[in-house]
């Protein structure tokens, strides 16, 4: 299949905007971003995972290097395991209320260096590891997808009660002996007491 038989050539600006290093605009975007999606892959498949914290939680070490903390999660290690197998990664940064996103592609390595971990000390708690991303390409992405999705439009927010609780979903999917209510309580306790 030749995709160019279906799609026209890219716009000149779409080609020219790609940078091999982070510029001032990108650094400012990262500093304002509280959320990103991290894409990884290995021979067993691809994975994408959310990463989030206060704006600026991703540190820009220099024009070619980003540091992403790995705060407590589910300990499946899907993304980190993929990085060990294949260091190629993609990051998509979001800033609430901003239609455009920032795409960064590069290679990652996992570090447990105490000096790096200390940069994210929150009440004596530190991430278990830091993902050190060497930037290969970076560029701003237009807002068409966010406009179509109306992602930042408050009128499109779904009432939480429109879906089953996460505890109920887990109960149905895992058949764990705990009740949906007990699972939900455990999750809410984690949200309240184990974010870091």
Kindly list the distances between the CA atom of residue 22 and the CA atoms of 25, 28, 29, 52, 53, in Å, as whole numbers in the listed order.
Answer: 8, 10, 10, 20, 21
Share of residues in the chain with pLDDT > 70 (%): 100
pLDDT average, residue stretch 10-34: 95
Q: Kindly state the average pLDDT of the residues 87-100.
A: 98
Q: What is the DSSP string of 46-77?
A: EEEEEEE-STT-SEEEETTEEEEEE-S-----
In CATH, 3-149 is 2.60.120.330: no
**Which residue ranges make up each domain of the chain?**
3-149, 158-193
Give the mean model confidence (pLDDT) for residues 30-34: 98
Model pTM above 0.85:
yes
Q: pLDDT of 60-81, one tens digit each?
A: 999 999 999 999 999 999 999 9
Q: Over the stretch 144-193, which tens digit does the pLDDT of each residue have?
A: 999 999 999 999 999 999 999 999 999 999 989 999 999 999 999 999 99
In the predicted model, is pLDDT for residue 142 greater than 90? yes
């Amino acid at each position: 299949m030749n995709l160019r038989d279906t799609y026209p050539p890219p716009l000149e600006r779409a080609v020219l905007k790609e940078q091999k290093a982070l510029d001032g605009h990108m650094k400012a975007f990262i500093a304002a971003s509280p959320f990103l999606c991290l894409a990884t892959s290995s021979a067993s498949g691809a994975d994408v995972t959310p990463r989030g914290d206060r704006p600026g939680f991703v540190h820009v070490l220099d024009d070619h290097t980003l540091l992403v903390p790995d705060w407590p999660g589910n300990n499946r290690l899907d993304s980190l395991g993929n990085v060990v197998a294949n260091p190629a990664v993609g990051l998509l940064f979001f800033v609430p209320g901003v239609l455009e996103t920032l795409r960064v592609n590069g290679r990652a390595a996992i570090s447990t260096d105490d000096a790096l971990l200390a940069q994210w000390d929150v009440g004596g708690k530190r991430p278990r590891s830091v993902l050190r991303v060497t930037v290969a390409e970076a560029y701003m992405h237009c807002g068409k997808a966010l406009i179509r999705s109306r992602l930042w439009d408050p009128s499109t927010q779904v009432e939480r009660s429109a879906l089953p609780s996460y505890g109920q979903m887990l109960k149905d999917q895992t058949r764990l002996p705990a009740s949906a209510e007990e699972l939900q309580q455990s999750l809410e306790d984690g949200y309240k007491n184990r974010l870091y």
